[in-house]
Structure 1
Amino acid sequence: MTKIERIHHVAYRCKDAKTTVEWYRKHLGMDFVLAIAEDKVPSTHAPDPYMHLFMDAGNGNILAFFELPNSPEMGRDTNTPDWVQHIAFKVGSVAELEETKARLQAEGIEVIGITDHTIFKSIYFFDPNGHRLELAADVGTPAMYQALDACKWEMLNEWAATKKAPKHAAWMHDKEFAQPR
């Protein structure tokens, strides 16, 4: 069986490669690590010029983008709410989250949050391509993560059978975590 080591890269479409690189460098401190441009798609051999760029998202994680100038304007899946499809990045602390929120807002970027998810706090905003981004700072305790791990399969099986939200981890949003004994 194949054992995945890590994500090599995740790729999204962008409207403008240069604007995207500059935005991610300026607002999220990501380094621009690689650009590849071709006139034909290597996997399909279709004639479709593109610019493929790679940004360092930390710890070996790469966020990549394609600019496709000959394709119709990019859009979103209209059947999926905007909040569902997003890229979440981990930051080191709630203080860093607060500082980033203030800095983004000072640049005129609309930010939602800080949202308290009990085990992490996060903010949400959009990049210049319309991709929703999340920055998250972990705040959970080992007991909280253990409680979530203990009920994950039961929750998944209940969801599969009923398509109704199981209540095993309702404490996350009720803010009433009872320490397991």
Structure 2
Amino acid sequence: MTVPTLKRIHHVAYRCRDAAETVAWYERVLGMTYTTAFAEDHVPSTGAYDPYMHVFLDCGGGNVLAFFELPNQPEMGKDPNTPAWVQHLAFEVENEAELLAAKAHLEGQGIDVLGPTWHGIFKSIYFFDPNGHRLELACNIGTAEQYAELKTVAPLMLAEWRQTKKAPKHAAWLHQPPE
């Protein structure tokens, strides 16, 4: 059996409350381009009757973000057992200046923004879309040596985590904020 050769993520899909509002928000706030929509009354994979609108947004670099509006389903909710900060979608921006400009833009749109937050090898800001999905914009700030070290210690960190369920100290510098 051959392992598939993946090219990229074709699209990532989330649920939305209102497809038109969601498309307008992502175009206005994050500059994405609305490219495609499918609307059907029956789910192609199952044949079940469940009308939906499926919209697709180009978010650059060959990446596509998609949403489903499902008017006949119960109101969308969140996993009550998972903290809000865990489930999020992160987009990369070029540098810290662009990150700060994005924060000002978002705040100018009346959106509450958390951060910038330092993560050792990147900085990020957090905010929510109109559907309650947490979004992150991040810029890489690490050095080539830091990324190489993290790649080297990744297997050790995972093995230690699996045994202890505590933060491993293999790349201790990653856990120390800059002075």
Structure 1-normalised TM-score? 0.95
Q: CA deviation at 1:70?
A: 0.6
What's the counterpart of residue 130 of structure 2? 128
Identity %: 62
Task: State which of 77, 80, 103 in structure 1 corresponds to 2:79.
Answer: 77
Distance 2:52 2:71 in 1: 7
What's the counterpart of residue 100 of structure 2? 98
Paired amino acid for 1:69: P
Paired amino acid for 1:106: G
What root-mean-square deviation, in Å, do the aligned CA atoms of Structure 1 and Structure 2 show? 0.9
Q: Which whole-Å deviations, capped at 9, do the CAs of 1:79-131 have from their partners, x for residues lacking one?
A: 00000000000001111111110111121100000111121110000000000
Paired amino acid for 1:151: V
Paired amino acid for 2:83: P
Q: CA deviation at 1:170?
A: 2.5
Task: State which of 131, 146, 149 in structure 2 corresponds to 1:147.
Answer: 149
Q: CA deviation at 1:62?
A: 0.5
What's the counterpart of residue 107 of structure 1? 109
SS at 1:70 equivalent: coil
Distance 1:70 1:54 in 2: 20
What's the counterpart of residue 52 of structure 2? 50
Distance 2:17 2:124 in 1: 26
Distance 2:172 2:57 in 1: 37
Which structure 1 residue ranges, 4+ long, deviate > 2 Å from structure 2? none
SS at 1:11 equivalent: strand
SS at 1:164 equivalent: coil
Q: For structure 1, list consecutive stretches of 5 or more residues without a partner in the other structure.
A: 177-181
Distance 1:156 1:118 in 2: 18
Tell me, yes or no, if structure 1 residue 172 matches structure 2 residue 177: no
Distance 2:124 2:108 in 1: 18
SS at 2:110 equivalent: coil
- Asked if 1 retains the 8 angstrom alpha-carbon contact of 2:118 and 2:177, the reply is no
- The count of aligned residue pairs is 176
Q: CA deviation at 1:8?
A: 0.4
